[in-house]
Structure 1
């Protein structure tokens, strides 16, 4: 900033102070305040914010911040915000702040020399910056008006911040359109620059674009995993719906709204055109289908298997949860892998090895048929007569097609980790080795970092070594990676 610019900024700040003092005294200043600012002052004063109040309220303690950050959607775009804004903020003597939709600061990064000054005025994680909490400020006002704003000097309602300038922009959920939070850059008065608001606005748009890409990936994963439920309707009317009510696939094509309202626990809904639809919960999202006439022949069953990860095996049969223990889950895995069917002798070998007993298998098959029905589990040979959607099969297909990112994000953990059945153990090893190789071969540092945080990669020293080599010194992920790598090396 030139000497002339500094002089102009100081003159502008003095003018704003005159306006501020005059308005709060009940008069009018030499020039009117910007309408954005005057309206924000009115809202803030109506909320009984004291202009002489020192700092904002602390609403989240340090111990609760990690969980709040981990659950917040903007966590996914923090690497982008770091690479886009933090280096600029550090050089320009600013701090970058990210809030949630309630105006609570969750993340703060920037110039180390400025953090102490920020601490003194409450620009710290866990504090609330809505207009009704601390008056007119960029973060609170951008959330109030749902638009990018810049608040300079005495445009802040609380005098504490008259030596600060800040700019903020809202970030929206690409799914619902709701505000997720705000991105802000703040700094001392002399750091004001007209491009600040354009910078945070462009960064917010980049963040929304990245969230939109992630949403598209999630939609495609939902379609791929759950299309068997839709095809099981055999051309009947039906649709796949996300948990938020967006329709991602429908039959017949073109006869569906973009979104439907799904009241909690509803088993049927009415569309705007008057059609009644049954609502069947899936492992992720819902299936809408037209009610079946009571006398109609049942369509082919849809079986959804979720056997990856450290939780209990999960199964849905035509949208209804069916409790499973380990042994029937092993049987279902083997039957999914061999859709043409297996004899009792072959099943015994796959699940028990050379010591397997066909008689034992027949007993377990009988119990499984009782659980899921003889129309789903056929005999001679044993086979599944259903549209099967298995998470392990989807991950395997993605890996074989070279879609490493899709495979990793579709895989919450190892396959039936408590199982020691030979066939399960072999498939588990295949998936883990293939996943690791696909991630390492992708040469994608973000995917590598995602794998390092995944149950399959947390203990992988080579992955952590590569990340330490690849991550930039200022990358927010680096301290955690280095710490975990040190623990892995100490345990080695």
Structure 2
């Protein structure tokens, strides 16, 4: 975890003047006028996400999600509950002295706990900064809690850096807390207060506290792991030297026998058969806590086959081992980018290629998780994200034909533009490149069948150069010539 881009030194030298400058910047950016300076990148990117979620900059208010009785149950079950005493020790006494308050949210921005100076708590009540309200960017726009959850990094938000006007009299600093078992976001820790209480050390303090909380959770996890290991060692011993392992409830390898495994094995709730990254087949049996993994064979299982048909005017298709897989446009974009980069891509690079500079790796990780669930085991791997299956994709066949200069093969695979509805910058660039190259290769071929096949796609239907080339190469006795001439005349 690293400290995100901090506010500028002017904030600490003259907070009131700095707040006034930020208000001018915000008004200019929202109105489209020339701004006196650019907002910090972490802020401008958050504004873009918030506005895309239709947050009202002038009248937004954090929505109340949970009533008190429901909140009590959520608190008791939340993974951050065990470290709440540590958070109080680190932050609440300081918050009291500095007229701040400590806030703890879940991964969706729901405020679970809020403690601190009475005057600040009463002031917070008036702007819905209370337990049970949601402070994600989608719900209330740019704020330290929501933005740290969106970016996965610590962040400080001051005055008019908040998108919603009613929070311009507040300053806040927040840091994310991750599950040491899975790496998933558990929530955020935040310190908020009135503008006059801004302090240069607040972001560092919140970040250090989040790291201590993760360390405490990691220590508690190690204790649980050891208990599970001791309780389940007889199950591992029952394999009598055959390859296998004890796994935690999340799939982490706690102990292994006669085999080498990755640090974590993907398991479904209830166990079942899994394919390991190297192709071995294993059976996962549920225990009272965790799982027993038994490697069924030392040989490699056949690689799964992923087929992608995305060069089409229609919806396209995604299949795994011949089975149709329901897919979204975003999933098709992810598979396309990974197929084009067989060595794999990080979440950050995927976010950049999918969304441009406003891309969010957290969103990509969530989409990849859903996609892996759809495809099943043995298709996508992580660290980096890459396709483990054998890939048969029409756009890869077309690109190979283009490299070979084989016009007939290129047009045969090309049934339309690549993911025509995609607005992803990388997909758009690839779409235009493939379409232009196939068109030029077809024109250069001067082959009637090749030109006709390209003309039948949406990319060639009204292409005057293609029509003129067909008129030139089709035999007068060819019945297709009349159709081409008629269409050419219609276009003028």
Answer yes or no: same fold by TM over 0.5.
yes
Aligned counterpart in structure 1 of residue 16 of structure 2, from 6, 10, 14: 10
Counterpart-to-counterpart distance in 1, 2:137 and 2:297: 53
User: Could you say if the C-alpha distance between residues 51 and 292 of structure 1 is closer, same or farther in structure 2, counting changes exceeding 3 Å?
Assistant: closer
Q: What secondary structure is seen at the aligned counterpart in 2 of 1:168?
A: strand
User: Could you say if the C-alpha distance between residues 5 and 250 of structure 1 is closer, same or farther in structure 2, counting changes exceeding 3 Å?
Assistant: closer
1:35 lines up with 2:35 in the alignment: no
Tell me what 1:433 maps to: none
Aligned counterpart in structure 2 of residue 206 of structure 1, from 204, 209, 212: 212
Counterpart-to-counterpart distance in 2, 1:282 and 1:41: 47
- Superposed CA RMSD in Å reads 1.7
1:287 lines up with 2:289 in the alignment: no
Aligned counterpart in structure 2 of residue 118 of structure 1, from 114, 118, 124: 124
Tell me what 2:278 maps to: 273
Counterpart-to-counterpart distance in 1, 2:147 and 2:295: 46
1:154 lines up with 2:130 in the alignment: no
Aligned counterpart in structure 2 of residue 240 of structure 1, from 240, 243, 246: 246
CA drift of 1:113 comes to: 1.6
**Contact persistence 2:284–2:291 (CA under 8 A):** yes
CA drift of 1:212 comes to: 0.4
Q: What secondary structure is seen at the aligned counterpart in 2 of 1:250?
A: strand
**Contact persistence 2:253–2:263 (CA under 8 A):** yes
Counterpart-to-counterpart distance in 1, 2:153 and 2:65: 25
Write the mapping of 1:122-271 to structure 2, written as runs, cut at 5 A. 122-252=128-258, 255-271=260-276
CA drift of 1:54 comes to: 4.7
Long gaps (5+) in structure 1: 294-492
User: Could you say if the C-alpha distance between residues 17 and 277 of structure 1 is closer, same or farther in structure 2, counting changes exceeding 3 Å?
Assistant: same
Tell me what 1:47 maps to: 53
Counterpart-to-counterpart distance in 2, 1:29 and 1:271: 54
Write the mapping of 1:59-78 to structure 2, written as runs, cut at 5 A. 59-78=65-84
Counterpart-to-counterpart distance in 2, 1:161 and 1:106: 20
Long gaps (5+) in structure 2: 1-9, 299-492
For these two proteins, the number of residue pairs brought into alignment is: 289
CA drift of 1:16 comes to: 0.6
Q: Could you list the per-position Cα deviations for residues 106-142 of structure 1 after superposition, in whole angstroms to 9, with x for gaps in the alignment? A: 0000001211101001110000001111010000000
**Contact persistence 1:6–1:190 (CA under 8 A):** no
**Contact persistence 1:54–1:121 (CA under 8 A):** no
Tell me what 1:445 maps to: none
Q: What secondary structure is seen at the aligned counterpart in 2 of 1:64?
A: helix
Counterpart-to-counterpart distance in 2, 1:158 and 1:200: 23
User: Could you say if the C-alpha distance between residues 5 and 292 of structure 1 is closer, same or farther in structure 2, counting changes exceeding 3 Å?
Assistant: closer
Counterpart-to-counterpart distance in 2, 1:269 and 1:38: 44
Tell me what 1:481 maps to: none
Counterpart-to-counterpart distance in 2, 1:172 and 1:149: 15
**Contact persistence 2:105–2:112 (CA under 8 A):** yes
**Contact persistence 1:37–1:136 (CA under 8 A):** yes
User: Could you say if the C-alpha distance between residues 292 and 26 of structure 1 is closer, same or farther in structure 2, counting changes exceeding 3 Å?
Assistant: closer
Tell me what 1:84 maps to: 90
Counterpart-to-counterpart distance in 2, 1:62 and 1:284: 32
TM-score, structure 1 length as denominator? Answer: 0.57
Tell me what 2:99 maps to: 93
Q: What secondary structure is seen at the aligned counterpart in 1 of 2:68?
A: coil
Q: What secondary structure is seen at the aligned counterpart in 1 of 2:263?
A: coil
Q: Could you list the per-position Cα deviations for residues 447-482 of structure 1 after superposition, in whole angstroms to 9, with x for gaps in the alignment? A: xxxxxxxxxxxxxxxxxxxxxxxxxxxxxxxxxxxx
**Contact persistence 2:270–2:286 (CA under 8 A):** no
Counterpart-to-counterpart distance in 2, 1:257 and 1:196: 39
CA drift of 1:274 comes to: 2.1
Tell me what 1:364 maps to: none
CA drift of 1:263 comes to: 2.3
User: Could you say if the C-alpha distance between residues 288 and 21 of structure 1 is closer, same or farther in structure 2, counting changes exceeding 3 Å?
Assistant: same
User: Could you say if the C-alpha distance between residues 109 and 22 of structure 1 is closer, same or farther in structure 2, counting changes exceeding 3 Å?
Assistant: same
Tell me what 1:463 maps to: none
CA drift of 1:272 comes to: 1.5
Tell me what 2:341 maps to: none
User: Could you say if the C-alpha distance between residues 36 and 8 of structure 1 is closer, same or farther in structure 2, counting changes exceeding 3 Å?
Assistant: same
